Every structure is written in structure tokens, then in C-alpha cells.
Amino acid sequence: MRAHRTRPRPRLIQKTPAPRSVVRVYCKVVLCLASIAGLLPAAGPVDEKTLRTAQSDPAAWLMYGRNYAGWRYSDLAQIGAANVARLAPQWMFQTGVTGKFETTPLVHDGLMYITAPSNHAYALDLATGRAMWHYSKPVPRGVNVCCGQVNRGFALLGDTLYKVNLEATLVALDSKTGMKLWETPIDDYRRGYSATVAPLAVKNLVIVGIAGAEFGTRGFLDAYDATSGKRVWRFWTVAGPGDPGANSWGGDSWQRGGGSTWITGTYDPDLNLIYWGTGNPGPDFDGDVRPGDNLYTCALIAVDADTGRLKWHYQFTPHDVHDWDATSDPVLLDLTQNGRPVKAVVMANRNGFYYALDRVTGRLLTAKSYTQVSWADGIGPDGRPILISGQDPTETGNKSCPGIGGGHNWQATTFSPQTGLYYFPTTNGCQLYFKTQQEYVDGLWYQASTTHGFPNDPSTGSIVAVEPASGRIRWRYELVSSASSGLLATAGGLIFSGDREGYLFALDARTGKPLWKFQTGGVVIAPPISYQFRGKQYIAVAAGSAMIAFALP
């Protein structure tokens, strides 16, 4: 294993005799330039401040959404419209692990940290793509998952990596060796819980969501002490007896109320608020057994980072019966509305509407449909959808749009401060929704029926560029299938994404015109990332069972 420098080399600079203040400034400038040029690795343990300023280090990729606002925007501009046609693979790492590969890689200090399906994880050398270590743990038999044994990546804090294992545990690994430091159960997989989310490190906490709403679980958002692994707080996303919102659940239906938290949220350090989307109520398609709005499912919650106390919530789909989780990225943007600045959080919701909310109060600013929607005729001034009747699932099947995957599912979105546009992949299509009465049996599917597609009219997709304040679509790049991969925006004026047919491609961020493509040989589900190594900008993406890194020749 080759050594990776963990700290910059300030001694080289300190040789110059000069007043201390000058040294400090000079030091800062040289280090900054050196870092931008990629001459020095982004170095040292990642602390709270590093994470707060993650956007300012273009060489690294330190968290799921790149910065706490969830922009997934890289300031690197070596690769641009003029030369992207020459982008070529530099290395490929084959995991040999089958299943959907959904990881957002982290890049720090000469290594790339990735998680793979079924409890596998690796550290890869940025020069060659060779694995420096491999972590794996057998998945216990009997773990129920709706959608594959997937995992979406690490969080990094100090020298420690944090990931969830499928059987609903949180594990801490030494970033240099991959050795387990501790592993703590989040909840009991035998009751239907599982975990797939990339954790989020905030201060000395590791924030973790849960999956399992198709198996009669009750969802929550947890915070764990990053050092000890002990749980610090839990916010139940399904209001129970005594909680505000408890009357939005009939009878004891809250006990199996769903509300998973399977996609990483965002964080505003100034407001000290964590924003996290919540999933569908359970059972998915039979709403009769859970009368009421079913708070806080299909909602965005803003909770205090230190205590987990709810500051506000906004429910996109009250009493959802179409499995339209609100687990799309909640992206933090500062917008101008009616000539006034407003701190906003935006979400391209699975229910077919794009929303912008005031992130201080949760007040609705804008809602606009971005795909075919048959269930609501807009969102009213009270923030509730204006429902169209006859859209609920039935015993014999009822057509509704969007389909079960929604207009936009979990695929990562991106914001470019260069264009001021917000980009996300979409799916356009409808499905037949079936419901049935179903008695809950511990640990078994509790979806109360299913959906069918239309073989002769399958869903298609697109990538859209949206003006975030109005929701107006600036351009749309059509895909032949439903959206599969997330997005990356770069300062080179490019949007990178992939598709179900195996292509990774680059679009012009201003026009949506395709500028480059590469056939990876496997479905692209994960979002691409960008980083800098030895002076070169790279684009990397998980495709099929491989991790591939691209650069200019």
C-alpha cells in the first residue's frame, strides 16, 4: 500500500523569514494555490469546519451532496464544453458484487471511498483505482428489502468513515485500514427495518435514516455520537400517541405507519437545522386502514441538529396512496422572490410537483408540475394539493400518473451557481394502481397490493433544467427510458449523468445539448462526482458493478 500524505507541508513555506502575519497570509495563499493546482492532496482529518466549507475544496468530495446544501456542484473547470469530447476512462475498478450500485464516492487525501451492494466497501487509490482495503460483512438471512441490497455511500468525519449495513446497523471504519471501530444496531431487521442511506456527519453527530415502510415499520431519523456510536436523539417520522399530529392516524395504524428516511438530507449550519425527506405511509396502497393525513410521511421535516426536535414540517402528499415518498434531495438555495431574498429549500417531489419552501418557516413559495400529473390540479395557497377525484388505487386497478417510481425518485439532483439553474432527472408515465385488504403479518410485505405498467406505453424520462424560484423549465433533454442516474454540475458549464442503457454522458448546462457519451457496459444508477488529483480534474461514476474514473488525456 502506498503511503498517502495526510498533512500539507508548511515547513517549506516557513523557511522564509518574515513577520508572522505575512507568513500566515503567504502560507494561506500558497497552500490555497497549491491545493487548487492539485499539487497537495486535500489533507488532514476532516473536521466540522472542513465539512462546513466543503465547497471551497474542489479537489475533494467529502459528503453525499458535496456540500451541506446538497448542490453536487464542482468548481473544477478543466473539463468544459470545448474539450469534453476527448474525455476518456483512466481506470476501472471491478467490485465483482452484483446488485444495484448506487454509491456516491467520497474523495479525500489520495483515496476514493465507495460502498457497494450487500455490505461491501472499498478504499481505492486515486492514481490506479486499485483497492487499498476491502470491508465486507455477510448480510443475515431474513433481511427484507423492497428494492435491492443497496447502499448509497459513506460519511467522513475525522479519520473515520461511517456507513450503514443492510441489517439496520451503523458501522464506523478506520479510513486508513477499513478496520471496524464499532457497530451499533439502529433497529431490528427482523421487524422489517433495513438501512441503505449514506449517513450525514453534522458536528459530532452522525445522522442516519431508515428503510422498511413496505414491511409495516414505523420510521424515524436518528443521530449517533460520532465517537462512541451511542444514539443521541431519535425523531419519529410517524406521530405516535401524545405527539403533535397523532390525530392524523386512525386507530393504531401509526404502529405500522412507514415514513422511511432512506435518502440523505441537508444541513444549514446558520439555522442549525437538518432537512430530511420522509417516505410513504404503510401500507402503501390501502389508505382505508390509516385514515387521516398520516403525519409526518411524504413530508419534508426540519429538525434541530442538536436535539432532533421538529422545527417545522411540510407535507407534500397528505394521506398518500401511491407510494410517492418525499425522499428527493432537499437542496438549500438562496432565492429572490418578489424582489426579496429568501432562504429556500427546494425539492423535485416524487408526486410530480417541484416545490420551493422557505427553509426558515416551511412556508410554501412555489409549486409547479414538471411531468404528467393526473392526481392533483396544482397546489393551493394553503399548501395542500387540489385533488382530482378517482385517482386512488382499486381492487381491479386504476390508472394514475406519475407511476409508482414517481416523476422524480431518489436520483441525485444538482444546482449550478454558474447558471443559477436546478437540474434533476424525471420520469414521465402512468401506472395501474391496485389495492387489496391485507392483514399485517410480522416481517412480511405490507404494501396491500401492487402496480402494473403498460407494456406498449412504457415510461420515458428526461433531464430538466429548472429556474428554482419559479419552477419554470428552461430546457429538457429526453431519455428513452425512465430516469436511472443522478446528476453532477461543474464549473466547466457541464451536466453529467447516466442512463439505464449504460451511457454516461455530458450535457451543456445552458442548453441541454449532448456533448459527450461513453458506453459503460452497465446500468448507471449512481450519480457522477468530480474531483482533482495531481493537477487533473476527474469525473467518476459507479456503473454496472464497476467504478470508472475519467479524465482528459
Q: Minimum distance from CB of 370 to other proteins (Å)? A: 19
Bridge-based pairing state of the strands 431-433 and 473-479 = unpaired
Give the residues across from 130 on adjacent strands.
Answer: none
- Which residue, 105 or 486, has its beta carbon nearer to other proteins? 486
Please say if 358 is a catalytic residue.
Answer: no
**Options 372, 418, 419, 436; binder of other proteins; rule CB under 8 A:** 436
Instruction: Write the interaction track for other proteins spanning residues 508-527; mark x where CB under 8 A is met and - where it is not.
Output: ------x--x----------
Residue 542 pairs with which residues in a beta bridge? 547
Q: What dihedral angle (degrees, nearest 10) is formed by the CA atoms of 198, 201, 207, 211? A: 0
- CB-CB contact of 54 with 60 (8 Å): yes
57, 109, 222, 323: the catalytic one is: 323
- Residue 36 host element (H or E): helix 20-36
Total Cβ atoms within 10 A of residue 395: 10
Least separation in angstroms between CB 436 and other proteins: 7
- Contacting other proteins (CB under 8 A), which of 17, 19, 96, 138? 138
- Binding-site size for other proteins (CB under 8 A) equals 31
Q: Are 385 and 44 in contact (CB under 8 A)?
A: no
Q: Is 503 in the site for other proteins (CB under 8 A)?
A: yes
312 neighbors 299 (Cβ within 8 angstroms): no
Please state, in angstroms and rounded to a whole number, the distance separating the CA atoms of residues 357 and 277: 13
438 binding other proteins? (CB under 8 A): yes
Residue 462 within binding range of other proteins, rule CB under 8 A: no
Whole-number Å distance between alpha carbons of 325 and 284 = 10
Angle at 417 between CA 81 and CA 500, to 5 degrees: 60
Give the one residue of 158, 250, 397, 420 binding other proteins; rule: CB under 8 A.
Answer: 397
Nearest CB to other proteins, comparing residues 78 and 438: 438
CA dist 77 and 63 (Å) reads 20
Which residue, chain included where needed, has cell 409526518? 296
| Closest to other proteins by CB, 44 or 397 | 397
> How far separated are the first and last CA of the chain, in Å rounded?
26
- The span of 14-22, 69-77, 369-377, 499-507 binding other proteins (CB under 8 A) equals 499-507
Residue 24: what residue type?
A: R
Q: Which is nearer to other proteins, 254 or 505 (CB)?
A: 505
Asked if 190 interacts with other proteins (CB under 8 A), we say no
Omega cis (within 30) before 330: no
Binding piece for other proteins, criterion CB under 8 A, among 70-78, 253-261, 354-362, 436-444: 436-444
What is the nearest approach in angstroms of other proteins to the Cβ of residue 236? 25
* Collapsed DSSP state (helix, strand, coil) of residue 528: coil
Whole-number minimum distance, CB 281 to other proteins, in Å? 16
Residue 9 or 513: the one with the smaller Cβ distance to other proteins is: 513
Per-residue exposure over 144-165, b if at least 16 CB sit within 10 Å of its own CB, e if not: bbbebbbbbbbbbbbbbbbbbb
Residue 384 engages other proteins in binding (rule: CB under 8 A): no
Give the x-and-dash track for 306-325 against other proteins (CB under 8 A).
--------------------
For residues 321 and 315, give the distance between their C-alpha atoms in angstroms, rounded to a whole number: 14
Work out which of 119, 278, 315, 447 binds other proteins, going by CB under 8 A: 447
Chain residues binding other proteins by CB under 8 A are 138, 141-142, 396-397, 434, 436, 438-439, 441, 444-450, 452, 455-457, 478-480, 499, 501-503, 505, 514, 517
Active site residues: 323
